[in-house]
Structure 1
């Protein structure tokens, strides 16, 4: 008599319900981050509207000049909707954002959307290049100094590193920009003074933007490197006499990456915001330079659009960093957030 045997499902097959349960932490994590992002965007839009309308002076009168006829000023204010109540202007502003209508520049009469379309790419190119330079320089330098000075070794290297990075952090962007222009552009004539041209035109503004972030991030990477190298698993790996490539790249670097990514998001946000002063010094054709000119001319539609761009860029960067960190280290991020 043959006994019946019940076939068991293979181990590698995961029931659909178990897969759904495993995906719930990710869904909850993304939902929380998305809600936080939307709330922050609403506060940003409201703050940008309130900030611009709190500026002193009459933007229409400033744009048309003191000699403009009262009828012209009144018609311009009516055409721009500035004769409505503040609440109605806020509703119109929100409607314009959803329809990609950012208004019209009071100074030039050009739609703000066209101005942003022309000026955003140069700013992103400058900020992105500075960020890549920051990552490519700070991480290798920080890891190298952290490895060389671990356990109190090479005290002179540690003091030199702390002194150089401290000096770079103490110099404001605009002071460094002016110094670079005077020495390398005016005196030595090694690089262009201003404007966006070939690759050489990026050297001075990128250096001015990235010097402080390189010093800051290199310090973080050095401290994280020394912390990771002091862990027990790293001592065990070192006792096995593994090659340096396996020891530092495969074992140390992934554990340094989480803190580095967190700080890198802050660095990228500061680089985007730092373009305002650097673009003004180097006459870079970006929105940072346009922001300064618009504030001086009280061209509030342009000021609103630029402020909204900078704020939304920071929020998007923070959201992207949170997601990337959750992918790299899901256990400590998704379950605890």
Structure 2
């Protein structure tokens, strides 16, 4: 007699014909194309659509900003002739459709434009500010996944079957409260508590000291990860409770298999699908949160840069940063989809799943 893997359900096995071979629906053979190939094609088309949308939105959104950039750059003492000359120099006197064509052509040629205020290429300004935002966002994403998944699983295992009600209730209350606090308020609280009060973490460390420069990212990362950790860990706890009640997990417990093997090898992969799907949306929102939190800590990242560009009506900088931030968010979602595909190829959306 052959023992069945507790992780395999009868519904997951393909139907077998009378000849002992797997039967395909309606007698058709499986398509030979790889699910990864179809996934790559769909995602490339999706990224192209997102990029095109960002081009249109980033161009049109600056037209809604009130005021004349030329008048702001020329200053309060400039006369009408100086403003008109500056408008012609910045090509603001040209029709909107003509400016859009020039803008799209410049982007596809690798040039995002020249800053109105600094007279520097926009890509240079973005490259100087991107490391600060990327450091906070990427480290924050890693911290959220490394903390929330084990925490949620531990609470789910400890409260399985209605045990330790006090732990389940306390975990829900604490995470619910912390998750409801906006990121900028959490950042302000951390500044007052650990920066101004205790003085444990320097707020404005000297850039030439590596240890202090690293410490300057501690509070921003803490401020951006607390809420997502609470959200993801609550989802993981709920999914862990559902997975532990499945038949294959009961079978594994009946076989007296080691707890670590049950939870890591069989429970974890099954709860990661739902967890990572929701985490993709949350992690994308963290990029926007990093932009706001940068302003609280006065970090020279994309967040403070785009706010200053809006105040200065620096159209090329606004457009370039909107495109970069939007594509970073799209790439984060793509990375989450790839991880889901590595865990379970059925999430790739193909009808054929390789063994």
Give the TM-score normalised by the residue count of structure 1. Answer: 0.89
- Map of 1:160 onto structure 2: 170
Q: What is the alpha-carbon distance in structure 2 between the residues aligned to residue 307 and residue 332 of structure 1? A: 30
Farther off after superposition, 105-114 or 238-247: 105-114
Match of 2:240 among 199, 206, 225: 225
Is 1:324 the counterpart of 2:334 in the alignment? no
Q: What is the alpha-carbon distance in structure 2 between the residues aligned to residue 231 and residue 60 of structure 1? A: 66
CA deviation map 1:129-165 (0-9, x unaligned): 1112111211111000011111111111011111111
Q: What is the alpha-carbon distance in structure 1 between the residues aligned to residue 93 and residue 153 of structure 2? A: 59
Q: What SS does structure 2 have at the residue aligned with 1:228?
A: helix
Match of 1:303 among 318, 328, 333: 318
Q: What SS does structure 1 have at the residue aligned with 2:250?
A: helix
Q: What SS does structure 1 have at the residue aligned with 2:126?
A: helix
Map of 1:227-306 to 2, 5 A cutoff? 227-306=242-321
Match of 1:118 among 96, 120, 128: 128
CA deviation map 1:94-114 (0-9, x unaligned): 111112211122222222111
Is 1:96 the counterpart of 2:106 in the alignment? yes
Q: What SS does structure 1 have at the residue aligned with 2:77?
A: coil
Q: Unpaired runs of 5+ in structure 2?
A: 1-28
Q: What is the alpha-carbon distance in structure 2 between the residues aligned to residue 90 and residue 310 of structure 1? A: 20
Farther off after superposition, 327-336 or 244-253: 327-336
Match of 2:95 among 60, 72, 85: 85
In angstroms, what is the RMSD of aligned CA positions? 1.9
Map of 1:173-212 to 2, 5 A cutoff? 173-194=183-204, 197-212=212-227
Q: What is the alpha-carbon distance in structure 2 between the residues aligned to residue 126 and residue 194 of structure 1? A: 16
Shift of 1:236: 0.4
Q: What SS does structure 2 have at the residue aligned with 1:198?
A: helix
Q: What SS does structure 2 have at the residue aligned with 1:306?
A: helix
Q: What is the alpha-carbon distance in structure 2 between the residues aligned to residue 136 and residue 129 of structure 1? A: 11
CA contact (8 A) 1:276 1:292 kept: no
Q: What is the alpha-carbon distance in structure 1 between the residues aligned to residue 346 and residue 119 of structure 2? A: 53
CA contact (8 A) 1:26 1:334 kept: no
Q: What is the alpha-carbon distance in structure 2 between the residues aligned to residue 291 and residue 37 of structure 1? A: 23
CA contact (8 A) 2:35 2:345 kept: no
Number of aligned positions between the proteins: 319
Match of 1:215 among 210, 230, 233: 230
Shift of 1:201: 1.4
- Map of 1:127 onto structure 2: 137
CA contact (8 A) 1:60 1:73 kept: yes
Q: What is the alpha-carbon distance in structure 2 between the residues aligned to residue 322 and residue 236 of structure 1? A: 31
Q: What is the alpha-carbon distance in structure 2 between the residues aligned to residue 141 and residue 134 of structure 1? A: 10
Q: Unpaired runs of 5+ in structure 1?
A: 1-18
CA contact (8 A) 1:225 1:252 kept: yes
Shift of 1:72: 3.1
Change (3 A) 1:33 1:210: same
CA deviation map 1:311-330 (0-9, x unaligned): 11111222232233223211
Change (3 A) 1:182 1:91: same
CA contact (8 A) 2:115 2:121 kept: yes
Give the TM-score normalised by the residue count of structure 2. Answer: 0.85
Shift of 1:29: 2.9
- Map of 1:61 onto structure 2: 71
